[in-house]
Structure 1
């Protein structure tokens, strides 16, 4: 047991994180429904962004994959399996399954396109007639979480590739007329510090949600956070044991929400109100409407409800629309307050 403790690095428990409710909610909803489209977390340095993202990945229930498959292929869902696994199933081959932790892949800032997408060995293809593909980070992230710290400093071209894969659920690599396509369905999580530069509006819009986090001002709460972290650093295993029950309860709640999600409904009248809000705020395109509908359903499922209500919409709409508002340098109120005003006016009527 001591040997295992030495090789497995303990991760701070998600249920032990104090504050930053907006970031935690955005991550939970994306885990319940990955089609929300990921989350962009912008905030001050040292506010626990990376800690929270690693904690949510560690919290998730294990997934079943095909053994020795580099793409974490699902054993039965055709949408989540590679072409090789599909062929094996069609040929009647015996598929061996195994359980793994949900993949959590960090994308380094200096990563190249080949490192992200994978590479095709052209020489092998030409001389031996074999499609030899070296999977990249997108393959490793399939059915997991892809985390990009300082995403606002990442090359725009790479951000485009990540967002395209996250939206389509597939990654295609083409070299010299040879093409390889594999599933790449993941929750894209980006974080950054606004002082180091903003993302282009077109790229920001592609993130489903946008959470803003600020440094805690309350001295008592700051002391509590510091003590909590110190306690974990001194004896991580007793801290993990202390939160084990809460962690297990939250795991069960996420699984139940994922199962319930397809049956959750949102009334036509409320869907119209969401679109009214987006229209009044001059939100470009329809992504804002779509994401708000999805997020409200995911929250209703998380709270074990069959029908979305006004409170669900109020809880998620700022996260879904804040980054889609046109920036007006002469505006005296921030985007969050503007959304609150419009939401109160339309949802009251």
Structure 2
């Protein structure tokens, strides 16, 4: 059995890890965008989190990870009806992916000659109820970006060819990573990510040594290493599950709503998606910390990841986006 590097064993990168935990608690937050240096654990973190999460129950043979017969699309082959537990899916979207590979391929000839909906599911079907991971998301082709925008908005993949229509559920947490020096992300897709974090290679020598030490230990004896960190991973898993149950009961007072609106007005965020994402992330954090209501401390902790990618550019301010958000938070809350 191939092991994943334990989530709790990842050194540093606290903002990235917290953002992924929050989307695991509330997938409605809208995914995570991770920009920064190569080799900073971006892909390791998303796979480690998915391995940490509880296994999902699905109908055996379901290509879309359907949990009930009602969720099975009409084009799918019959399944046995048996329920099986599988790991939370993590699907990679390579840069060279074709449209048919992403959304699925429809056999037009078979459909017209036999009247059958012959459909080969794509990556979106496999990612349903899991994670869709896009490395170098800023280099993704525009037509694939447009497709992702439609699916991310609706939670459903729809393919229409020659008068035939195929559809299936496609609800997933979108995780994108990339290096901003290699190209910018289209504003439409950037806005679809609920949270955004910047990661950098550690400058502290001891921290870098610890990264090397843990990775070497994992590569040498993965069984022993995973066992060593299993207790910490279990604590995180239990906290995520508890937060999911508590999420609906977390109170968001009117003062908190005013704080959210005030922050977004102060940074010049367009639309209302900033306020809504900030509130959802703060509520998820409050549930994760066992709090009964959202406080300013929760807003402070998530403000930069929820709002930094929604900032308007200021040519007179060369501070990083996270720094600008943190500065605005302190000004507004003061």
Residue 83 (1) aligns with residue 76 (2):
no
How far did residue 85 of structure 1 move?
Answer: 10
The structure 2 residue matched to 1:15, chosen from 8, 17, 22, is 8
Structure 2: where are the runs of 5+ without partners?
Answer: none
How far did residue 73 of structure 1 move?
Answer: 0.8
Kept in 2: contact 1:118–1:136 (CA 8 A): yes
How far did residue 304 of structure 1 move?
Answer: 1.6
4+ residue runs over 4 A deviation: none
Q: Kindly provide the CA deviation profile for residues 238-269 of structure 1, in whole angstroms up to 9, marking residues without a partner as x.
A: 10110111112211111111111122121111
The aligned counterpart of 2:20 is 27
Q: Kindly provide the CA deviation profile for residues 192-239 of structure 1, in whole angstroms up to 9, marking residues without a partner as x.
A: 011111102222111111110011000111111111111111111110
Kept in 2: contact 1:145–1:186 (CA 8 A): yes
How far did residue 94 of structure 1 move?
Answer: 8.2
The aligned counterpart of 1:193 is 179
Write out aligned runs for 1:221-236 (5 A). 221-236=207-222
The aligned counterpart of 2:329 is 343
Structure 1: where are the runs of 5+ without partners?
Answer: 1-7
The structure 2 residue matched to 1:216, chosen from 202, 215, 227, is 202
The aligned counterpart of 2:127 is 141
Q: Kindly provide the CA deviation profile for residues 107-161 of structure 1, in whole angstroms up to 9, marking residues without a partner as x.
A: 1110001000001111111111111111000000000000001111110221222
The aligned counterpart of 1:290 is 276
How far did residue 341 of structure 1 move?
Answer: 2.1
Is the deviation greater in 37-46 or in 157-166?
A: 157-166
Kept in 2: contact 1:263–1:306 (CA 8 A): yes
How far did residue 106 of structure 1 move?
Answer: 0.6
Is the deviation greater in 296-305 or in 12-21?
A: 296-305
Residue 215 of structure 1: SS of its match in structure 2?
A: coil
The structure 2 residue matched to 1:66, chosen from 46, 54, 59, is 59
Kept in 1: contact 2:64–2:128 (CA 8 A): yes
Distance 1:317 1:85, change over 3 A: farther
Distance 1:94 1:202, change over 3 A: closer
Kept in 2: contact 1:64–1:75 (CA 8 A): no
RMSD over aligned CA atoms reads 1.8
Residue 167 (1) aligns with residue 160 (2):
no
Alpha-carbon separation, structure 1, partners of 2:41 and 2:283: 27
The structure 2 residue matched to 1:334, chosen from 287, 309, 320, is 320
The structure 1 residue matched to 2:246, chosen from 260, 276, 280, is 260
Kept in 2: contact 1:318–1:339 (CA 8 A): yes
Is the deviation greater in 8-17 or in 134-143?
A: 8-17
Kept in 2: contact 1:266–1:297 (CA 8 A): yes
Alpha-carbon separation, structure 2, partners of 1:334 and 1:20: 17
User: How many residues are paired up?
Assistant: 334
Residue 83 of structure 1: SS of its match in structure 2?
A: coil
The aligned counterpart of 1:124 is 110
Alpha-carbon separation, structure 2, partners of 1:70 and 1:31: 22
Kept in 2: contact 1:201–1:324 (CA 8 A): no
The aligned counterpart of 1:99 is 85
How far did residue 173 of structure 1 move?
Answer: 0.7
How far did residue 51 of structure 1 move?
Answer: 1.1
